[in-house]
Structure 1
Amino acid sequence: MKKFLTLTAASALALYMTACSDNSTSADDDPLKPGSVYVFGSDYKTGELRWVSEDGVSEDSKEFNQDSKIVGVDGNLFVLERYGADNLALVDVSNKKVTWQKDMGDGANPSDVVKANKDEVWVALEGAAKFVKVSVKDGEVVKTVKTDGFNQGKASTPNLVDFEISGDTLFALFQRSENYAYPVPGLLALYKLSNGDLLDTIKLAKKNPMAMGFAKGKLYIASQGEYNASYGTDADDKRGIEVVDFDKKKTSVVVDGEKLGGGVYAFAVDPEGVAFAAIYKGFGDVPVVKVNLSEKSVKKVSDIADAEGSLYFDDVDGVLYVGDRGAKGGLFKYDEGKVTKIDAPKDMLPVYNITIVR
């Protein structure tokens, strides 16, 4: 096992301070910024990219692999074609054409993209024991950071599922599964944003973490935990939302699965101190709850049945976007306590995930 760097209490506190300093009715009359909201649809056979204007979701679409994730970074739109394709593509938002498309390697399963600098991005790979820095101009890999030291048991990858950045630090979230099980809790690793040098690691309290986000200078991590016999998740204390204490190098649970109603499938954070969690009770049964992180209170968001289509919080406009894959689903926005369905073509595929490009 690789020997990892450790931090003194003073340096850990300094790192923490650096992190602190620096996603039903018909459409209403509050117009969306043309082209800023993008939605990916999938029926598990085909996939399509569409975009949102003042009139709703576009009639036009762009085809991609059915298992794809879209991420907006610094004015750029990236399409992460996952299992069955394993590509990273850059889409020109001015004409919706692919600028370049690069193979990340068989089974690489790209999972997230964040800004490294004005010319490069870091790309997380869930299916490979590494992550890479890529040139925005041409998609070429300019640096590789190995993560095989985090592999659990005989697993070939530590399952990197999410990136966050704050100040000069890159935060990486690892699930650490083995043979489709989660024998140990997840792991948070901290890297130097500029070059990928490992700074520290922090063991999580819960298993199978899904996503993370910053609110009021604190990093919150949401975990789904292990599946039950029915392939759902139980409302118990084996999963939940935890917060990172960088000084003590540990986490503590804010709200557990018993209070949430199950494990967290998707997670979006309002920097002002509110989180939204899609709770995976079972296939097709994924409600959304609103969590006040300081008060540790949980309130269900009405009119959402199956939020397997992801959550995205727009911290500029203060709006939550929800992809509901249920029979009466579609693309929704939640604003000031009201859920509104955005107009969309009848042939649009069920929402798979959402992003915003600015």
Structure 2
Amino acid sequence: MSNTPKTDALMARGADFLGSEHAILCGAMSWVSERNLVSAISNAGGFGVIACGAMTPDLLDTEIAETKKRTDKPFGVNLITMHPDLFDLIAVCEKHAVTHVVLAGGIPPKGSVEAIKGGKNPAKVICFAPTLALARKLLRSGADALVIEGMEAGGHIGPVSTSVLAQEILPELSEEHLVFVAGGIGRGSAIAGYLEMGACGVQLGTRFACAKESIAHENFKKAFFRASARDAVASVQVDARLPVIPVRALKNKGTEEFTAKQREIAGSLDREEIAMAEAQLQVEHYWAGALRRAVIDGDVENGSLMAGQSVGMVKEEEPVADIIAKLMAQSEEALTQRR
């Protein structure tokens, strides 16, 4: 008998779609959402998602294989749409019969959704939708589910808050489609609210970044424990020609270095040394390197400490299973009080 029947009932569609006990996705965080954390989340009843980021096909192949050694539960893979080897990465996912592929970073290129859904081992496609119009377009293009992520989230963000996106999109789409809500979620009471609005589940990243099973450096985790919501700030775009998607991270020297990096890349565009597509890739590679310095090397001054505004609710290192159990209990308590 479940201890969270009300929450389970509202999550039923999302959990069935994911093949997990709870409709709680872990947001893909580069260098953090790897084999250890992903398998731990799936084993605890959530749905782990590998952050492919700038990985090569060979690296992704290894990461998926190592994750499968650690869990027999479903998990997904997050692919960046602008990755030059996107179709090779899709082929790796198909080879391993990955059940769900999350496409992030923009509109999926032509043929990518079909490649994911049409192979020998077809997977479900989850896409990010920052507006209602784009949400409808993605669903028409074959997306099986959507994540609407507000600007409170960590990492790459859009310009609209989670609460506004939820009010705009859920009433329009949630009855007939699967919509997960993300951005700034740190407690189960917020999960309960979005489920009641029609979400089929939620996605959290920051809440899991400092889990016991996360390989993130001790310095990285301590920076999270010290931080408050206002410390997680969005990056600034310095050149209108360089369409840099804002990134939310804890303010440090690395934040300032990214501003300088944008100026450097803009200068290369001025001199026509690189094309726009290459400029955008340079930005992505910069973030991959900056994240590694913080997450793996523990350089919390110069690396990127990507974090959502829910970081102020991350106070200690906890096992993934405890985090999920706590979120579910908080959601159930909120629903019970209201019903």
Q: What is the TM-score with the length of structure 1 in the denominator?
A: 0.29
- The one of the two structures with greater contact order (alpha-carbon pairs below 8 A, sep at least 6) is 2
The structure with more strand, counted as a fraction of residues: 1
The structure with more helix, counted as a fraction of residues: 2
